[in-house]
Structure formats: C-alpha cells, structure tokens
Structure 1
Amino acid sequence: MTTQAMVPSFNDSQLPDVYDAVESEVRSYCRGWPVEMAGASASWLTDTSGRRYLDFFAGAGALNYGHNNPLLKRPLLDYLSRDMIVHSLDLATEAKTAFLETFQRLILAPRGMDYKVQFPGPTGTNAVEAALKLARKVTGRESVINFTNAFHGMTLGSLSVTGNSMKRAGAGIPLVHATPMPYDNYFDGVTADFHWFERVLDDSGGGLNHPAAVIVETVQGEGGLNVARAEWLRALAELCNRREILLIVDDVQMGCGRTGRFFSFEEAGIKPDIVTLSKSISGYGLPLALTLFRRDLDVWAPGEHNGTFRGNNPAFVTATAALEAYWQDTTFADQTLAKGGLMRDRLNAIATSNPKISARGRGMAQGLKFDDAPTAAKVCRAAFERGVLMETSGPADEVVKLLPPLTTPDAEIVLGIDILAEAVASTSS
C-alpha cells in the first residue's frame, strides 16, 4: 500500500476554535496531532473527517489492551446497564471484591507476592505520593533517592523525585527531601555508576542522610527509554535490603505487561517493598491506581490517606475482565515478548542504515534515539502525516517512543514501523 496517501499534510491546526479560545495553553498532545478525534477501536483512532490513525501511543501506555476492547467493554456495559454502583469511596462493592480476589489469584499469589493493596486515588502520581508518604511513615526518615532522567508524576511529591527540569520548574517552590543518583549506564559504561550511591552512604562527609526509600523505574519511559539491566536492579535491591532502605518500583507505565511479564521487574527476579501501578491496570483507559506494599508495611490508620475517587467501580470491572482475559497463564506475556522482538528487529534495521540513530527499549516500549535531537519531533510529525501516532521522550525530546497496544497484530506493527522508516527517510532527504 502507499502509506504516503493515508493522511494529507497538515500545515495548520484543524481543531475547532474553542480550544484556542477556552482551553488552557498547557495542552500538549493536540498540538502535535491537530485534529479532532471521534472514534477508536483496537489499535486505530478515527478523526471527525473519517481519517484513520494507527496508534503507537496507546494513551501514554494506558491502553495496553487497545481501544474499546470488546472483552472488556461487554462486562462494563452490562455492569452499567444494571444500575450497579459507580462511585463508592472505599466501600465494599461486588466489583471491588471481584477485582481484589482476581488480582490476588492471578497476579500476586502465583508470584509469591504477599502485598497489601491500597487504592490511593485515580492516577499514577496518586500511587507514587502514597508510596513516598508510606515509606517516610514506616521508617521515620525524610530523604528519598531517585535517579537521573526519572519521571514519577506531576504533583509535588512525585515532582521532587522527577528529573526533568522543565516539569520540576512548574512546581514554583523548592522540591526537597530527594537526592538524585546516576541511573544505570548514565556514564555510558565508563564507571560503575551505581556504586557511587553506596560510597556516599558510607562516607560520614558525604552529606547524605539515611534515606527512607529508593524509587526507580526499570525502564524510564518519559526519560528516553533508558533500560536498567537486570543485574543493576538486583544490586540495587540487595543494597536497599542491607541498608534497611525501602525499594519502590514505579511500574505505572511499564507494568501490566508492557515489557512482557505483568510486572517489569520480574525479569530481574526482585520483589520490591512497594510497587505503584496505574495507566493500564483498569484495562480500558478508566482511571485507577494501586499502591502495593509488603504486609508488614501496612501501618496506615483508617482514613490517614484517602481520596474521593479511589473507588472507581467501572474500572474494577474492566480491570477484572482484563486479568481474566489475558493473565490466566503466560501466553499473553510470551506474545508480547515476541512482538517486542519484531519491533526491535525492524527498528535495528532503521538504525543500522543511519549512524546517527540508535534503537533502544524493552518489550513493547521501544524507539529510536536521534543524535540530532530536533529530528525526533520532525519524524513524529512526518509519521502523523502518514497516519501513525507516536511521541517523543528523553531530556531533549531526542527519542521517538513507540508504545503500541500489546494486542496490536504483527502486520500492524510492521506497517507502523515501515511508516516510521518512511518518516525518518523524509526528514533526512
């Protein structure tokens, strides 16, 4: 097929005037994709003019099972049609009971994870805030260690452990009680960056207070698809255990199967003290977040941390359906790993032909890094004009990041990356 003909070139925004007139200038994604979307199914979106777009963005990782997945939509519509409870704070409901029992049976128990589940609020940053707050309450310490290029959310606590200077500046106040350390391979293999952390802990002149926790992403999605090696993660977990520092893994974007197994840290064979989940845990793009933690860390007093929308029952329904449909065994994870291999092979083929491009990522979170950072945005724009949605990431927006739904067929993965190859070629000519 001729991919160039899928979507015409966009010179000006085709959005209704109300967006400029009424909505805040803070909006971002609609600037890169200046069309009004109308419908979505599986791996495709359709705008109001009828043009279709292959989705390699998946709601920033919130749609691992695609748009309007019928396996999740049917139980949701049935639930709503029966006038079942929608908003419930933390009341016990049938939908919540089913989710907790299914999550325990299919996710926690098979992995030997004796975690308690907290519903902190509807988004990933809520889960991170609860994790930080709990770590400080348990240990009685204030300091938290984070890593270079990390992203953990946009509220103040989450921003304090985020690396991006532009996002941090939006806080408007000093972001304190967090100390950044070099992420794996931050120095391009020149030194064992991880060990500087332990040295400072041992040095009475190092100026580092004994931390309450370390928070880490196994793959830094917003940070540029930086992948931590399994051995680095194991060493970090061992250090935290020796020093009585709680280990928090932020699995908001990379969990729920994005890298293959349900949790992104499973490959490393570690069991964090605290885990944060959101984005695709509802399965359907509905707001839901979890903070998981070791049973002995459950020191909360009733109502000490709460939120109005922590009981999103439609999200419990779709989350339960997603677990039942995709996580009964390892089939879905194996398929995701195979698709990730397909993505990597085709991205490597693009990178091999251009010495200023390199492939990076893990599972179905992969992309291309451009030595000339502004090229990445140009490539995303060219891909959009050809009918594929993808975004940039990294400290200089130098990485084209691909997050297709995990349910995307192989043929559509090939199509999307072929269009990406065309977009790369068009910006180089």
Structure 2
Amino acid sequence: MTSDTNSVFARRESEARSYCRGIPSTFSSAKGSEMTDSDGRSYIDFLAGCSSLNYGHNDPDMKAALVEHITGDGLAHALDLHTDTKADFLTAFEKHVLQPRDMDHRVMFTGPTGANAVEAAMKMARKATGRTNIIAFTNGFHGVTLGALAATGNSYHRGGAGVSLDGVTRMPYDGYMGDRTDTTELLAAMLSDPSSGVDKPAAIMLETVQGEGGLTAASPDWIRRVAELAKEHGALLIVDDIQAGCGRTGTFFSFEGMGIEPDIITMAKSVSGFGLPLALTLVRPEYDVFGPAEHNGTFRGNTHAFVTARVAIEKFWANANFQQEIATKALMLTTALEELAGMVEGARLKGRGMMQGVDVGSGELAEEICARAYDKGLIIETSGPNDEVVKVLAPLTTPEATFRKGLGLMLESAREVLAQSKLAAE
C-alpha cells in the first residue's frame, strides 16, 4: 500500500497532510519506542508524535486503566460536567505536579489541541488586563488557528491565514541577533519608550525551547529578564510548554529552576500520556477571569485522556526517579549529537534535555539525513525556519539499548549522506 500512488490516501486525503510525505509507511501497531508497518517492518521512533508520546506507545499501565474504564461503561464524553475521572486527574495533578512546585494555578480545560490552550491564554490575558497587544518572539510557534497564528513567526504557516493577523508585536528571541546582543535590552527599551510604537502588552508569550523554530533554547538569565519586564510593565507572562513540557526538557515544566512564576502556562501533547487529545491552560487564580462558558468547546476535556493522564502522573512524577532517568538519556543524546555536529563544518548543537538536535546548516542536508535514517528503520524529523535542524524527540521511556541503536542509525545515516555528497562534489 505504501508505494501505491493511487491509494486511498492519495485519492482522498487533503493536500494539507505533512509527516506522511517523508514517512510514507502505513503503520499498523506500536509499542514502547517502536512502530510497525503493514508489511511487518519495525522502526525506532525518534519523533514520538512530535512530543505527544513522551511515555512511548501503548504504555501497559495506561492501557489497562483505559480498557477497564471503557469496558466498565465509564463516561466517554461529558462536556465539562463533574466526573470521577476528572476528579482523579485533578487530584493527581495537584498532588504530584502543582503542590511540590508551590504553584496555585487553576486548571482550565480548553479543547483538544495546543492551539486551543494558546487561544484561551491570549484571550484571558487580554480580558484580565484590558489590553490587546501580545508580545511574541521570532521563530516562535504557537499554533495555526488565527489568534495563535498571529503569535507564530513562520511565514509559510502565516500565509495560510487568508486574513491579516493582528494584535501581536514580534520581538527578537534570545540569540536572534547574535551571541553578543542581549535582545532583552531592546525589549526593555521598546516597552519603556512611549514613542516606540509598541502598545502596552497584555502578555509576553514565549517558549523556553523553540520546538518548531529550530530548537533554540533561551538562557535562564534571558528568561528571567523577560519575566521581570513583564511584571514591570503590567503584562502577564505566558509560557507555552506544549512541546517542551511533560519532561521533554528534563523537568515536568521546562522553566523549572529558572526562578520565574508564569502567570499562564499552556500544555497539550503529552499531558494525556497516551497520545489522546487533551490541552490545559494553567492560570494563577487572580487571572482566572472568564465567566461560565465564555471560552468553551464541545470537547473541553477528554474523559478517556483523564484516565491515562492520571496514571502517567502517578507512575512517572510521584518521585524523582524518572527525572533522573531523563538526565541520563539526555547526556547520551548530547554525546551522539556532538559527534554528528563534528561531521559538518559549522554545525551547531541546539536545545536541551531530550529536546535536542543539530543545525547542519542546510534544510536539504537535514532532510537527506532523515530520509536515509527512515530507510534504515529510524523515524526522525527536521525543525527550524528552513528545516535545517536534525531533531530528536525520542520517547523519554526509550530503553537504553534501543536508544543507542537509534542514535547509531542516525549517525550512520549522516556519515553515508556526507560521504555521498563528497563523492558527488569530486
């Protein structure tokens, strides 16, 4: 089926499809960190649903709890009614995530996607402050619905809007103007100057690691300064933790240990733990300003996702063991990526934790490496404004032997592609 250009996918699926263009296999099953196609071939997964499967495919404990819920006629849909599964999730989230971090944030269930969470966050900040402007950053990616898209930097995605995208001021992210330029100085100057043309912001929104923007990781000092400026100028601080959260950067939230307290946090992707749609907007109580159903949706909350999310929190975040395992694998990843970077002149290591990659300087080269890896049985993708970053998003639970094998395939693919390019040049 995968080679049949007249397949049902080519005939009927929208041209908006993307990942399947570079990864054309038809997959039929998955477990842990491996996926199997309809021909019986297995692949190591270094994409993990773009960080939606941080705990791997079909975790047995989450699966057992979900099957028990379904076979016991547990609710499949409940709007925002009180349910036992929602109560259990909120209790676990409060006990193992919020309270240990001394966070008093309330949990808003928005809709099934990260963009829903971002839309709610932006609206909430505007209502709470009475202002309209949101400051976002170069290479930021926050979603492609119109409000979130206004805050997204990528011109390709912005071009699909069909209307003007307003209400956002773009400022340079950390490192955007070179290592010698502190871009928070520009932000401070623009916010302090009444003639800068920048309207007083309702919020400043950022990713601590820019997932789709090329894995640029902001320094803690830069993030702290942005947080200080937000507070100084009466703006809320929104941290978009949709891709970088749930352990991807090493801690549950990507900003832990940086000395900041975001007013609003958006989460999705791996919140459910099982790949089921679930998005959250966490908000400090004083900014929980929406009236009943003022921001709603038929699928705000996902009863099945509550079941698996509760298991994920209790299984992986009740103590520090999992976080220590992530740190060990992150070091393995850094070592392998340093080897990859050493193969390409001018290549740079990007990201942190288990959200790392290498900027190889060319989208064409990065795509060739990923394509060769796919041929060898490794699913890996690119990132960045020109797709120039080979990006690793392996499940955090990947067994060490499987992880090493996948990293080996990545390095082997890079060596072969580079050798072939050298021969072609000669």
TM beyond 0.5 = yes
Letter in 1 for 2:192: D
Deviation at 1:298, TM superposition (A): 1.1
- Indicate how the Cα distance of structure 1 residues 16 and 41 shifts in structure 2: closer, same or farther if over 3 A, else same: farther
Partner residue in 2 for 1:198: 188
* Conservation of the 8 A alpha-carbon contact between 2:230 and 2:236: yes
* Conservation of the 8 A alpha-carbon contact between 1:15 and 1:35: no
Q: Mind listing any 5+ residue stretches in structure 2 that lack a counterpart?
A: 420-426
* Conservation of the 8 A alpha-carbon contact between 1:15 and 1:34: no
1:23 lines up with 2:13 in the alignment: yes
Letter in 1 for 2:223: L
* Conservation of the 8 A alpha-carbon contact between 1:122 and 1:288: yes
Partner residue in 2 for 1:105: 95
1:411 lines up with 2:362 in the alignment: no
Deviation at 1:204, TM superposition (A): 2.2
* Conservation of the 8 A alpha-carbon contact between 2:154 and 2:385: yes
Deviations 1:239-274 (A, max 9, x none): 111111100000001101101110000031211000
Q: Mind listing any 5+ residue stretches in structure 1 that lack a counterpart?
A: 1-9
Letter in 2 for 1:159: L
Q: Whole-Å Cα distance in 2 between the matches of residues 218 and 249 of structure 1? A: 7
Deviations 1:1-43 (A, max 9, x none): xxxxxxxxx9x84576111111111111111011110000000
Partner residue in 2 for 1:6: none
Structure 1 counterpart SS, 2:201? coil
Deviations 1:121-154 (A, max 9, x none): 1110000000000000000100000000000001
Partner residue in 2 for 1:131: 121
Q: Whole-Å Cα distance in 1 between the matches of residues 347 and 369 of structure 2? A: 12
Deviations 1:186-243 (A, max 9, x none): 1121311121011011212210100000110000010000001111111111111111
Letter in 1 for 2:337: L
Letter in 2 for 1:75: A
Q: Whole-Å Cα distance in 2 between the matches of residues 71 and 177 of structure 1? A: 44
1:275 lines up with 2:282 in the alignment: no
Q: Whole-Å Cα distance in 2 between the matches of residues 110 and 211 of structure 1? A: 31
Structure 2 counterpart SS, 1:316? helix
Q: Whole-Å Cα distance in 2 between the matches of residues 425 and 34 of structure 1? A: 23
Deviations 1:59-93 (A, max 9, x none): 00000000000021110100101001110000000
Structure 2 counterpart SS, 1:101? helix
Structure 1: which 4+ aligned runs deviate by more than 4 Å?
none
Match of 2:292 among 302, 305, 316: 302
Structure 2 counterpart SS, 1:383? helix
Which segment drifts farther, 68-77 or 184-193?
Answer: 184-193
- Aligned CA RMSD, in angstroms, stands at 1.2
Q: In the comparison of the two structures, how many residue pairs are matched? A: 419
Partner residue in 2 for 1:119: 109
Question: What's the % identity of the aligned pairs?
Answer: 49
Partner residue in 1 for 2:211: 221
Deviations 1:85-137 (A, max 9, x none): 11000000000000011101110011000001100111100000000000000
TM-score with structure 1 setting the length: 0.96
1:178 lines up with 2:155 in the alignment: no
Q: Whole-Å Cα distance in 2 between the matches of residues 385 and 15 of structure 1? A: 19
Q: Whole-Å Cα distance in 2 between the matches of residues 229 and 52 of structure 1? A: 38
Structure 2 counterpart SS, 1:34? coil
Partner residue in 2 for 1:60: 50
Structure 1 counterpart SS, 2:183? coil
